[in-house]
Structure 1
Amino acid sequence: MTLIARTRARAVETLALDAPQRRNALSAALVGELADALTDAGRDTGVRAVVLTHTGTTFSAGADLKDPPDPEALVALLRRIVELPKPVVARVTGHVRAGGLGLLAACDIAVASTAATFAFTEVRIGVAPAVISLPLLSRANPRALSRHYLTGERFDAAEATATGLLTAYAEDVDTALAPILDGLRRAAPDALAETKRLLTARVLEAFDREAADLTALSARLFASPQAREGMTAFLERRDPAWVV
């Protein structure tokens, strides 16, 4: 069963996370298939830009707790989005949690509908937003991230835009995306690639500098007793033992 739906229109390749029954959680299989689809799009001279979107009511619920990806594989996926020689545009009409926010931060442009909601839920299950910090800390407002990282609160598209997680939000996301995609279609392919390289240089510096340490941190936290309790509590739909 395919987990990534691919369509193309006027040189824009759309990759849709297509595991709605799992809330498009980042399983090992989904991460691998998305990485392959991005590689194909990057090599295809007929592709001018990539739209990353989803089926169902959730863009991504974060890591799949039953089949989590290896942290190194998630780092490689995020880096592939950042390094892709084509602009990657996130189209969000549903909820985004935890690791899903890393996908948004890795994209060059991110647009969401007013129905979208966001939350860094890692601390509530005993882990930290470690690997996804590689693109996030380079692009988002540090003061706003402090609150969202530390509390796990849910916030809306207006707040996500102010924080720097989104480029824009609108009631009709496709209407908001139309001029963006038109602009990308009018741009010269080589110029787009070099301009993206300018924009992502500092993000890639963070990957080079911090990826190994953050990957190790993620692996250590996911293997911790608190993470086991937090994940068990989440699956059992109860509060973890530390809630007061």
Structure 2
Amino acid sequence: MTALVGRTRARGVETLSLDSTATRNALSAALVTELDGALTDCGKDPDVRAVVLTHTGTTFCAGADLRDPPDPDALVGLLRRIVELPTPVLARITGHVRAGGFGLLAACDMAAAGPEATFAFTEVRIGVAPAVISLPVLPRTDPRALARYYLTGERFTPADAVRLGLLTVTADDVDDALAPLLDGLRRSAPQALAETKRLLTARVLETFDRDAAELTALSARLFASAQAREGMTAFLERRDAAWVV
């Protein structure tokens, strides 16, 4: 089978690249499994000092693959893997982030995006809710500012994403923006990084422990609903859903 996650390493930084451009890097069952395995390998390797999660093509991640969606428990496991990994994980984004892609973005410890990036929580427009991805998103964002984009599904910019708390930095050259972050991680002691990350992610993991089962059940219920079937059909047929007025 063709690999869905590219892997390269340079000076202790492992770069994992989502490489399913035919589906705009949508989160299929296969992609979730492969990415989880790659992250597990990175967490066990003492030579990996940081992980950069990036993408090929013009889309970082289009959300769940509607034709081959991952099991909600598997998606929760992947997001928790990123949060719990003792090695810092940084998102490098030069394209679009939609729906479930925010789970990956928010689970990362830091994130940088270029000017080509666009963002949208599109779940409400296909009849579901940003349920599972809320596990890492809600603890790391401003809830009042986030409400606009959660409820309307409208697009927003990298500057908006910084204001919300979803991005660390945006710049014309995303690699220039990442360079000082990676340099700082290379100069930091691995043990100290792991324990400092544990301090930073404690609140996020509390949310996983408290809410994962409820939000997974909500996701499954909504995806099985009549409105979701109509919304996903309308999306695939490139038309407005029946409820649009």
Q: Distance in 2 between matches of 1:144 and 1:235?
A: 30
Shift, 1:7, TM fit: 0.2
Name the residue aligned to 1:238: 239
Q: Distance in 1 between matches of 2:82 and 2:29?
A: 17
Determine whether 1:218 maps to 2:219: yes
Q: Distance in 2 between matches of 1:101 and 1:238?
A: 24
Q: Distance in 2 between matches of 1:144 and 1:21?
A: 33
Q: Distance in 2 between matches of 1:221 and 1:144?
A: 25
Determine whether 1:134 maps to 2:144: no
Letter in 2 for 1:9: A
Question: CA offsets, 1:170-195, max 9 Å, x none?
Answer: 01000000000000000000000000
Q: Distance in 1 between matches of 2:206 and 2:89?
A: 19
**What TM-score do you get using the length of structure 2 for normalisation?**
0.99
Structure 2 portions without partners, runs of 5+: none
Q: Distance in 2 between matches of 1:45 and 1:166?
A: 27
Q: Distance in 1 between matches of 2:159 and 2:22?
A: 27
Name the residue aligned to 2:5: 4
Shift, 1:229, TM fit: 0.2
Letter in 2 for 1:131: V
Name the residue aligned to 1:100: 101
Q: Distance in 2 between matches of 1:80 and 1:101?
A: 15
Question: CA offsets, 1:120-139, max 9 Å, x none?
Answer: 00000000000000011100
Q: Distance in 2 between matches of 1:208 and 1:57?
A: 34
Name the residue aligned to 2:70: 69
Q: Distance in 1 between matches of 2:169 and 2:149?
A: 19
C-alpha RMSD of the superposition: 0.4
Map 1:138-217 to 2 at 5 A: 138-217=139-218
Shift, 1:30, TM fit: 0.2
Q: Distance in 1 between matches of 2:54 and 2:145?
A: 25
Question: CA offsets, 1:95-154, max 9 Å, x none?
Answer: 000000111100000100011000000000000000000011100110111100000000
Q: Distance in 2 between matches of 1:110 and 1:140?
A: 13
Question: CA offsets, 1:42-63, max 9 Å, x none?
Answer: 0001100100000000000000
Question: CA offsets, 1:60-85, max 9 Å, x none?
Answer: 00000000001100000000000000
Map 1:8-157 to 2 at 5 A: 8-157=9-158
**Helix, strand or coil at the partner of 2:57:** coil
**What TM-score do you get using the length of structure 1 for normalisation?**
1.00
Q: Distance in 1 between matches of 2:71 and 2:224?
A: 12
Question: CA offsets, 1:182-233, max 9 Å, x none?
Answer: 0000000000000000000010000000000000000000000000000000
Letter in 2 for 1:215: T
Q: Distance in 2 between matches of 1:139 and 1:164?
A: 6
Q: Distance in 1 between matches of 2:25 and 2:61?
A: 5
**Helix, strand or coil at the partner of 1:5:** strand
